[in-house]
Amino acid sequence: MVVTSSGSAKDVLRSLQEFAVPEKAAFFPKFFQAFAGGYGEGDRFLGVTVPNIRTVARRLDAARNGPT
């Protein structure tokens, strides 16, 4: 994963896309009711699980603030 110290939205999205799973991206909208009238209406999903999101967050934080 390429991480820069800027932590820009593009960096975050690029890092998350490395963990994207198309099958999960297809399933999540149904689970989170991301359809007209559902509580997740309009949400879009990459198919990234929470453990992988945390990995990206830790790496971006370390790149920005130094290792802990």
> How do residues 9-57 score in pLDDT, each as one tens digit?
898 999 999 999 999 999 999 998 998 999 889 899 999 999 999 999 9
What is the structure's pLDDT at 6? 62
Other residues' Cβ atoms within 10 Å of the Cβ of residue 65: 10
Sequence-ordered alpha helix ranges (H) in the chain: 9-17, 22-31, 50-65
What is the structure's pLDDT at 65? 87
| Euclidean distance between CA atoms 28 and 67, whole angstroms | 33
| Euclidean distance between CA atoms 24 and 20, whole angstroms | 8
Share of the chain above pLDDT 90, in %: 59
